């Protein structure tokens, strides 16, 4: 119970298992993931979104590119997908994961649950595409 | 009861919150802009456009006789203004009427307004137009003020367009996740990627179409130059032209005043610093022009394009001009570029994260009419990150030619190249590598 006497709402827990244990893939390779969801009893999920995407991190504004996206809203399928499931796709040739100085490119799997009432919960699991080494400053030159 | 979160929170690999609520503020802001546009537009239409339209369509023509002259005084926060006006007697369908009509423009000086009245004589006949619904309203001129119509349409139109587009975007995003919006192609990035690389299925890799449309004289492609030098020259040129255009307009006005025996002291005072800035602008432009042309043109040709990690490519450097270069070097660089907002400003930060000197030459003698031509080999690092370009982030590769002429300041000239990711069979070279 919280201070106002309401029951504390537990956050869902989503566990994702990658087909490669080291979470490392090469371009044009198949990625398969399996996920399990644990939500508090009585929580009603109205939609589930499963996606494979990349996004940028670093000093600049975030850019995002979705490679695989599926949204499940049909009633019997939602109940199944909200408990767990599997999905996958063939990875594209680009972009590769990159750990730069001010620009970083990250690949991830996201499972997003939409609850009755408008709230949502997303679980993000990062994986690597390619094997580009981390960047270093070149002669400490800033242009 | 829990108050909804307006922004999502990231906790480790989890994010919670409602994006629908997060976009409420944005939607309200744009709705306010639309409302302001409607109100402002309504005021302008009813206060300016409709009366002007009625004068041109509904008002009846008559012949007025000047029976009185006067000045209309208006006291505002900005001061007192005066406008000449005439009392007219004119015939309407309901009989003879008398009313005041404004004539001429508003003046802040009473004597100036009075002098404009001097040309009118009592008893003079003038065409006039009266409002059949209110015959005491009479005007001496008809027509449309184009600038007023432009203003009427422009300001509320801009508010409505900006606010409406933002509101439509907010409604389109309502309740949709970031991934769904991107997958649906509603984010600008999605359009950018699909436009540039859909055919080759290389998402976020910039197109190199513009880099391979110019054949080289020796090698396959001539790389286009892209550097701060050209932009600086263009910037100085534009500034010099625009500033001196304004200066000429002011100077012509001052000259006409002088011919008419008048001197506007304020204009004269303004003209001096304006002329100094204008001359400085021309001098700077000419200096940049001399610097960029005196050194001579630089050309870079390459044996293949786009480049691949681990690939080796022949490069031809051709430097024109005359005189001696203390040194000349060829460098391969990779640069990260991040665009971000800081307050209301959009800033761009650039950082070179890879620099590989290819070759350098000392005491290069270039004679007019001939070029210093030299071949070199460019090797892309096997673990190189490919070129990457999105709306706010980029990783770009370029060949840089740096030189230090003996008589001129040093220069850096940039020749962008595109590095594609390694092919499916692993990192690969090119024909040049095979030959090597």
| DSSP labels, B378-417 | EE--TTPPPPEE-SSEEEEEEEEEEEEESSS--EEEEEEE
Which of A1-15, B20-34, B46-60 ranks highest by mean pLDDT? B46-60
B24 touching A, CB under 8 A? no
Report the alpha-carbon distance of residue B411 to residue B15 in Å, rounded: 49
Q: Do A124 and B182 touch (CB under 8 A)?
A: no
Q: Do A98 and B202 touch (CB under 8 A)?
A: no
Report the alpha-carbon distance of residue B48 to residue B55 in Å, rounded: 11
- The percent of residues above 70 in pLDDT, for chain B, comes to 87
Tell me the shortest Cα–Cα distance from B330 to chain A, in angstroms: 16
pLDDT digits (tens, 9 = 90+) for B105-121: 777 778 888 887 777 78
Structure-model confidence comparison of residues B10 and B361, the more confident one? B361
Confidence of residue B342 (pLDDT cuts 50, 70, 90): confident
Structure-model confidence comparison of residues B373 and B121, the more confident one? B373
Tell me the shortest Cα–Cα distance from B418 to chain A, in angstroms: 14
Would the pLDDT of B187 be above 50? no
B122 lies in the same domain as B158? no
Which of B183, B205, B207, B346 is best to mutate for the A interface (most A CBs within 10 A)?
A: B183
Three-state DSSP state, B373: strand
Q: Do B354 and A121 touch (CB under 8 A)?
A: no
Measure the CA angle with vertex B25, ends B22 and B31; round to 5°.
135
State the pLDDT at residue B228: 67
The DSSP bridge pattern shows strands A120-129 and A24-25 to be parallel
Tell me the shortest Cα–Cα distance from B415 to chain A, in angstroms: 16
Confidence of residue B199 (pLDDT cuts 50, 70, 90): very low
- Average pLDDT on B214-219 reads 90
State the pLDDT at residue B424: 57
Which of A89-98, B202-211, B266-275, B281-290 ranks highest by mean pLDDT? A89-98
The ranges of chain A with pLDDT < 70 are: 1-9, 139-143
B396 lies in the same domain as B311? yes
Give the residue from B256, B272, B294 where a domain finishes: B294
Q: Which domain holds residue B173?
A: 1-59+143-179
B41 lies in the same domain as B152? yes
Confidence of residue B185 (pLDDT cuts 50, 70, 90): low
- Number of folded domains in chain B? 4
Structure-model confidence comparison of residues B258 and A15, the more confident one? A15
- Average pLDDT on B54-59 reads 89
B355 lies in the same domain as B420? yes
B187 touching A, CB under 8 A? yes
B381 lies in the same domain as B306? yes
Q: Do A69 and B388 touch (CB under 8 A)?
A: no
B339 → closest Cβ in A61, A122, A124: A61
Is B46 among the domain residues?
yes
Provide the CATH number for the domain formed by A13-50+64-93+110-124 in this structure: 2.60.40
Q: Do B18 and A120 touch (CB under 8 A)?
A: yes
Would the pLDDT of B262 be above 80? no
A64: which chain B residues are within 8 Å (Cβ-Cβ)?
A: 178-179, 182, 187, 189
Confidence of residue B425 (pLDDT cuts 50, 70, 90): very low
B398 lies in the same domain as B323? yes
B243 lies in the same domain as B266? yes
The DSSP bridge pattern shows strands B125-131 and B134-139 to be antiparallel
Is B368 among the domain residues?
yes
State the pLDDT at residue A139: 55
If you write DSSP's letter for every residue of B18-50 in order, what string do you get? -HHHHTHHHHHHHHHHHHHHHHHHHHHIIIIIH
Is B133 among the domain residues?
yes
């Amino acid at each position: 119970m919280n201070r106002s006497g309401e029951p504390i709402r537990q956050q869902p827990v989503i566990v994702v298992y990658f087909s490669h244990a080291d979470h490392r893939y090469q371009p044009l390779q198949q990625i398969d993931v399996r996920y399990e969801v644990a939500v508090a009893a009585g929580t009603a999920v109205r939609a589930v979104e499963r996606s494979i995407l990349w996004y940028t991190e670093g000093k600049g504004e975030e850019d995002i590119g979705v490679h695989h996206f599926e949204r499940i809203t049909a009633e019997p399928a939602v109940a199944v997908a909200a408990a767990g499931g599997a999905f996958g796709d063939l990875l594209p040739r680009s972009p590769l994961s990159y750990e730069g100085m001010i620009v970083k490119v990250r690949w991830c799997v996201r499972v997003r649950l939409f609850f009755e009432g408008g709230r949502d919960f997303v679980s993000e699991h990062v994986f690597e595409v390619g094997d580009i080494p981390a960047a270093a400053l070149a002669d400490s030159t800033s242009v | 009861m829990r108050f909804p979160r307006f922004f999502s929170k990231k906790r480790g690999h989890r994010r919670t919150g409602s994006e629908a609520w997060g976009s409420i503020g944005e939607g309200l802001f744009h709705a306010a802009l639309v409302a302001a546009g409607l109100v402002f537009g309504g005021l302008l239409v009813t206060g300016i456009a409709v009366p002007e339209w009625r004068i041109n369509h509904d008002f009846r023509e008559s012949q007025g006789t000047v029976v009185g002259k006067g000045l209309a005084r208006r006291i505002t926060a900005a001061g007192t203004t005066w406008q000449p006006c005439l009392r007219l007697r004119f015939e309407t369908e309901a009989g003879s009427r008398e009313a005041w009509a404004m004539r001429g423009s508003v003046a802040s000086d009473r004597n100036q307004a009075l002098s404009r009245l001097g040309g009118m004589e009592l008893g003079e006949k003038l065409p006039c137009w009266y409002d059949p619904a209110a015959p005491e309203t009479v005007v001496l001129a008809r027509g449309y003020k184009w600038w007023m119509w432009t203003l009427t349409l422009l300001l509320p139109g801009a508010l409505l367009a900006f606010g409406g587009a933002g509101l439509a975007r907010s409604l389109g995003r309502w309740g949709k996740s970031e991934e769904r919006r991107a997958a649906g192609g509603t984010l600008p990035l999605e359009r950018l990627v699909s436009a540039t690389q859909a055919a080759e299925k290389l998402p976020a890799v910039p197109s190199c179409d513009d880099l391979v449309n110019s054949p080289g004289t020796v090698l396959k492609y001539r790389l286009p130059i892209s550097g701060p030098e050209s932009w600086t020259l263009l910037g100085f040129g534009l500034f010099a032209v625009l500033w001196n255009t304004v200066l000429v307009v002011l100077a012509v006005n001052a000259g006409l005043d002088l011919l008419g025996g008048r001197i506007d002291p304020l204009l004269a005072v303004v003209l001096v610093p304006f002329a100094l800035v204008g001359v400085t602008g021309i001098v700077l432009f000419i200096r940049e022009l001399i610097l960029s042309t005196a050194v001579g043109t630089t050309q870079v040709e390459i044996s293949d394009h786009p480049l691949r990690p681990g690939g080796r490519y022949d490069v031809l450097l051709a430097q024109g001009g005359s005189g001696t270069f203390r040194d000349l070097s060829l460098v391969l660089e990779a640069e990260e570029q991040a665009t971000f907002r800081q307050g209301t400003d959009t800033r761009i930060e650039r950082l070179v994260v890879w620099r590989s000197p290819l070759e350098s030459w000392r005491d290069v003698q270039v004679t007019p009419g001939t070029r210093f031509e030299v071949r070199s080999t460019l090797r892309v690092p096997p673990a190189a990150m490919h070129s990457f370009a999105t709306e706010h982030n980029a990783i770009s590769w370029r060949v840089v030619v740096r030189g230090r002429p003996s008589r001129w300041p040093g220069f850096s000239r940039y020749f962008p190249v595109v590095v594609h990711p390694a092919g499916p069979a692993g990192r690969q070279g090119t024909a040049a590598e095979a030959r090597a």
